[in-house]
């Protein structure tokens, strides 16, 4: 069964303190890995898609990387407005290629 | 451009009542997805449509759940009869293609008492 595990479940950072979120997956053939940001009371907002090991994508203070077994979302010099839950989802070769989501990492950045 | 619009934003009702959730996808998006989000299970796909046709409803938990898409700009998810375990946040998302990024609405928070 396809599985997506995100760690840590929650992370508290001071403003400017860089860190990384992890998304590890066990799937039958990866067809894409997606990162979303979700603010309280809102729907997930698309950030990045990664397709192959070694691929990297950047947006402002966020950088997503992909290996054969996991993805990292690096946050450089975070600001309080980066506080949100970050969701990882994978699309696999198996079944109907539906997105399988992790449970997310709740990031809090204190000023 | 307007994003995906869902209504109502909040719904509180008693067990046994019929609940109807509504979604207006982004214009031009051919795919529409219904998800349910809970603390225990995270985001789970319930059903998705392509060009108004249901393609995969294997995520629909029980026969009490049904979904329709009568036209390209409107979809409903209905629960009848509702049960307390149906309490969750229900999201609708749309996309230009099955493998393209999905754009989510802000969800309906459903509480069944």
Q: Band the pLDDT of A95: cuts 50, 70, 90.
A: low
Residue A96 to residue B93, Cβ atoms within 8 A: no
Mean of all residue pLDDT scores within chain B:
95
What are the chain A neighbours of B59 within 8 Å (beta carbons)?
A: 98
Q: Considering only CB atoms, which chain B residues are within 8 Å of A103?
A: 42
The tens digit of pLDDT for each residue in A46-74 reads: 999 999 999 999 999 999 999 989 999 99
The pLDDT tens digits for B8-26 are: 999 999 999 999 999 999 9
Arithmetic mean of pLDDT, B43-65: 94
Q: Which residues contact B90 (CB under 8 A, 6 or more apart)?
A: B6, B21, B34, B35, B36, B37, B77, B107, B108, B110
B56 vs A87, A96, A101: nearest CB: A96
Alpha-carbon gap: B64 to the closest alpha carbon of chain A (Å): 22
Spatial CB neighbours of A75, under 8 Å, sequence gap ≥ 6: A13, A18, A19, A20, A21, A61, A62, A82, A107
pLDDT of residue A38: 97
Identity of the residue in A43, A102, A104 whose CB atom sits nearest the CB atom of B91? A43
Question: In angstroms, what separates the C-alpha of A46 from chain B's closest C-alpha?
Answer: 7
The rounded distance, in Å, linking the Cα atoms of B50 and B56 is: 10
Output the domain CATH number for residue A43: 2.60.40.10
- Of all residues in chain A, the one with the smallest CA distance to B102 is A46
- Report the distance separating Cα A97 and Cα B101, nearest Å: 13
- Provide the pLDDT for residue B98: 87
- Residues of the domain holding A66: 3-110
pLDDT of residue A94: 65
* 3-class SS letters over A14-60: ECCCCEEEEEEEECCCEEEEEEEEECCCCCCEEEEEECCCCCEEEEC
Mean local confidence (pLDDT), B82-90: 97
Tell me the shortest Cα–Cα distance from A41 to chain B, in angstroms: 7
Nearest to A100 by CA among A34, A53, A16, A17: A34
Over range A76-94, report the average pLDDT.
92
Confidence at residue B1, expressed as pLDDT on a 0 to 100 scale:
63
Contact (CB<8Å) A42/B56: no
pLDDT exceeds cutoff 80 at B5:
yes
Number of domains in chain A: 1
């Amino acid at each position: 069964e396809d599985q997506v595990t995100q760690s840590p479940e929650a992370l508290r950072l001071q403003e400017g303190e860089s860190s990384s979120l992890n998304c590890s997956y066990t799937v039958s053939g990866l067809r894409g890995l997606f990162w979303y940001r979700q603010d309280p009371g809102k729907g997930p907002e698309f950030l990045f898609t990664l397709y192959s090991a070694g691929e990297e994508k950047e947006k402002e203070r966020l950088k997503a990387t992909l290996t054969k077994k996991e993805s990292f979302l690096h946050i450089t010099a975070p600001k309080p407005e980066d506080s949100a839950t970050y969701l990882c989802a994978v699309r696999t070769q198996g079944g109907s290629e539906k997105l399988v989501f992790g449970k997310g990492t709740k990031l809090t950045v204190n000023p | 451009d307007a994003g995906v619009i869902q209504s109502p934003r909040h719904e509180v009702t008693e067990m046994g009542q019929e609940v109807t959730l509504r979604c207006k996808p982004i214009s031009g998006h051919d795919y529409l997805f219904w998800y349910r989000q809970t603390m225990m299970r995270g985001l789970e796909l319930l059903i998705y449509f392509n060009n108004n046709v249901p393609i995969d409803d294997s995520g629909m938990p029980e026969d009490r759940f049904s979904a329709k898409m009568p036209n390209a700009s409107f979809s409903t998810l209905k629960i009848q009869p509702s049960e307390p375990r149906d309490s969750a946040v229900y999201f609708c998302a749309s996309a230009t293609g099955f493998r393209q990024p999905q754009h989510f609405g802000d969800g309906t928070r459903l509480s069944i008492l």
